[in-house]
Structure 1
Amino acid sequence: MTVFVHRLRVRYSECDQQGVVFNGHYLFYYDVALTELWRDRIGLYQDMVTRGVDVVVAEATIRYRAAARFDDLLDIAMPVKHLGTTSMIVQPEFRVGDRLVADGEIRHVFVDPSTLSKLEIPDDIRAALSSSA
């Protein structure tokens, strides 16, 4: 299976006074893309939480390479680069056309939603995310 890519259009309200996407929006864009990755490969996120598995962000790094602007179509590639025992690392790439505008690394930890204790990645989720590399 190929790397999952989610496309969104930059809205005017997401741009700063310089006319470019405000830096803080990239983590929001990432979260939207992660939700869509989940929907595509695993199913509804809430269904996973209901069965006793959740995912929290443990670390996030974004590198800004170029500007995205109002009305640009922003493609967010979501390669899962590492699946550990209880964690995963996604290395998103944000592109407008062929131009890389930002990239990064986000580490997530799987947890029990009621206690926030670490959990091993369930086999079905591991299999679904393995196909996203």
Structure 2
Amino acid sequence: MEKINQEEQLNVFRTKTRILYKHTDQMKVVYYGNYPEFYEIGRVELMRERGFPYAELEAMGIQMPIIEMHSKYIGSALYDEMIEIEAIVKERDKGVRIRFDYTIYNEAGKKINEGYTVLCCVNAETKRPVRIPERIWASLGLGE
């Protein structure tokens, strides 16, 4: 995985990853069920870049399960291509949820997928929803 860059003013983070054989179907096209994994790569690397790797979140007693996901398939990626995953948090939620938006580009730079995930911040012990810590919002450029 290769980190590309981030655009602070828009909270955009980009990273690249190679399509492995395990990601493809018999036609060597990425199987549709693998796009959530690409979303996770974008989300995890964005959080790491902003100072909150998931291990640190867990050490704070926080878990962030996905409660909603949407994916729109526009084009295809093929075996051994490098894809670019763009992840962004566009706005702050006042409660316990955070939405990550994704755009995925194939090696030719063509948009092949867009989607989003909504995660809920929960206490790791009680599994009850908790407000997203201000430090996380601030790291994403969305602090108060």
Unaligned runs of 5+ in 1: none
Normalised to the residue count of structure 2, the TM-score between the two structures is 0.85
| Native 8 Å contact 2:43 2:100 kept in 1 | no
Q: Distance in 2 between matches of 1:18 and 1:100?
A: 20
Unaligned runs of 5+ in 2: 1-7
Length, aligned pairs only: 131
Mapping of residues 1-133 of structure 1, within 5 Å: 1=8, 2-84=11-93, 85-96=95-106, 97-130=108-141
| Native 8 Å contact 1:76 1:92 kept in 2 | yes
How many Å apart are 1:19 and its aligned residue? 1.8
Q: Runs ≥4 in structure 1, deviation > 4 angstroms?
A: none
Normalised to the residue count of structure 1, the TM-score between the two structures is 0.91
For CA contacts below 8 A with separation 6 or more, give which structure has more relative contact order.
1
CA displacement 1:92-120 (0-9 Å, x = unmatched): 00101420110012111111011111111
| Native 8 Å contact 1:80 1:130 kept in 2 | no
